[in-house]
Amino acid sequence: MNPLLGVFSLVLLLPFSAAGFAQPPVEPRANRISDVPLQRLEREITRVTKTAGGTFGVSAIHVESGRRIAFNSRERFPLASTYKVPIAVQLLTRVDQGEISLDQMIALKPSDLHPGSGILATLLNRPGVVLSVRNLLELMLLISDNSATDVLLRLAGGPETVTARLRGLGIWDMEINRPTIKLIADQEGYSLPPEDEWTPELFKRLYDATTPESRKAAARKFEADPRDTSTPEAMVMLLERIYRGDLLKRESRALLLDMMERCRTGGAQLKGFLPSETAVAHKTGMIGGTTNDVGIITLPEDAGQVAIAVFVKSSEKEIPERERAIAQIGRALYDFFLFQPSTPSLAK
């Protein structure tokens, strides 16, 4: 047996009980033959983790049957841009409550332009830019625009409010603590001056003043920081609740899933080895040695949906290698849930 299996074990769990805890499968020894596909999946995940480097975590649930896969799923990982999913949930909660409107217009100022912003980097070179909440939400979820994210995080009520929303849902192993600008500054190892001094030129000067050694030290500290982290299990719990429709009104749920399905980043990750027509509503995240992809995969032939979170941290491998590993995990789980329907022994 591979020695890694002593540390990272893959578990197939049954649906959660009313008390909220997964019940272990009860399976007679005579039916152990049904473990073979799970053992093959375990070997495949273990093999793939070596190619990605660092630490790997996977959680997945077949929404309709409740069958769950867990691989190092209770370890904390930096969320990176996948934390934009809970931000969107809290923002749309405020929309549902009538506190803000998707058509509300937001005037952007120069200090709102933060690193990791594509379209807004061009727009904010011109004064008087005003965008709707809906526009900003699309920029956050489709191209992972960080400026749009930090504006929406303020509108959502701030990090503490987003985390409080998660706690209200019974999700304890996910934290939202900082806007992206502070998260990036901490990861790269520089301190930010007061907000009214922020400009793209300032961010470049601050970064240029760091050294490779200081950036490495900052990256190590960042990856040990519990802020803005999640377990794969907690993320899948949130994704499942989004899909089931008990978090948001019907229109907001449909809008969120539509935007996630149109996500333009991460084509080589969860979607990388899936059939081209597969619908995947997802959100990627990448910073330093972290590469993540989380989302909901729709299986063909009415076989249901799989909510999945794949996290990689502390990897020194090149990004394409990490992405390929995530794609391989995505395909392995797709095949497992599609071709291994639930059996009586696994459904108890």
**Does residue 273 lie within any of the structural domains?**
yes
Q: Predicted confidence band at 34 (pLDDT cuts at 50, 70, 90)? A: low
Average pLDDT estimate for 77-92: 98
Q: What pLDDT is recorded for position 221?
A: 96
Answer yes or no: is pLDDT of 1 > 50.
no
CATH number at residue 192: 3.40.710.10
Q: What percent of the chain has pLDDT over 90?
A: 74
Specify whether 219 is located in the same domain as 287.
Answer: no
Residue found under tokens 């509300």: 104
Helix, coil or strand: residue 100: coil
Specify whether 121 is located in the same domain as 144. Answer: yes
Does residue 256 have a pLDDT over 70? yes
Residues 87 and 35 both lie in one domain: no
Domain termination residue (choose one: 177, 205, 223): 223
Q: In Å, how far from its chain's centre is CA 10?
A: 20
List residues bridging with 280 in a β-sheet.
297
Q: pTM above the 0.75 mark?
A: yes
In this predicted structure, the answer to whether residue 6 has a pLDDT above a threshold of 90 is: no
- Asked if residue 101 and residue 42 are part of one domain, the reply reads no
Cβ neighbours of residue 203 under 8 Å, at least 6 residues apart?
114, 115
Are 59 and 29 part of one and the same domain?
yes
Q: For residue 106, which of 81, 84, 80, 132 has the smallest C-alpha distance? A: 132
Same-domain pairing of 195 and 280: no
CA distance 233 to 174: 10
Q: How many domains does the chain divide into?
A: 2
- Res 125 pLDDT > 90: no
Question: What would the mean pLDDT of 237-256 be, rounded to a whole number?
Answer: 97
Average confidence (pLDDT) over 74-98: 98
Domain ranges, residue 180? 82-223
Same domain, 51 and 131: no
pLDDT at 28 over 90: no
Residue 44: inside a domain = yes
Residue that is last in its domain, among 173, 203, 223: 223
In angstroms, what CA-CA distances link 119 with 123, 125, 137, 138, 141? 6, 11, 13, 11, 13
Co-location of 263 and 218 in the same domain: no
Given a cut of 90, whether residue 21 has pLDDT beyond it is no
pLDDT band at 126 (very low <50, low <70, confident <90, very high): low
Helix intervals (H) in the chain? 36-52, 84-96, 119-123, 133-142, 146-156, 159-168, 180-188, 200-208, 212-223, 232-244, 250-261, 319-339
Instruction: Specify whether 214 is located in the same domain as 298.
Output: no
* Mean pLDDT score, 240-259: 97
State the pLDDT at residue 42: 87
- The H-or-E segment that residue 310 falls in is strand 305-313
238 belongs to a structural domain: no
Lowest mean pLDDT across 48-52, 86-90, 258-262: 48-52
Give me the sign of the Cα torsion angle 138, 139, 140, 143.
Answer: positive
Mean pLDDT of 64-88: 96
- State the average pLDDT for the chain: 87
Once rounded to an integer, what is the mean pLDDT over residues 58-69?
Answer: 94
Q: Does any domain span residue 74?
A: yes
Structure tokens at 172: 């304890």
Distance CA 154, CA 179 (A): 9
CA 4 to chain CA centroid, Å, is 25
pLDDT of residue 118: 66
pLDDT reported for residue 4: 38
Beta bridge partners of 224: none
What are the two backbone dihedrals, phi and then psi, of residue 149, each rounded to the nearest 5 degrees?
A: -60, -45
> Are 141 and 88 a contacting pair, CB within 8 Å?
yes
For the chain, report the end-to-end CA distance as a whole number of angstroms.
Answer: 28
At 342, the pLDDT band (50, 70, 90 cuts) reads low
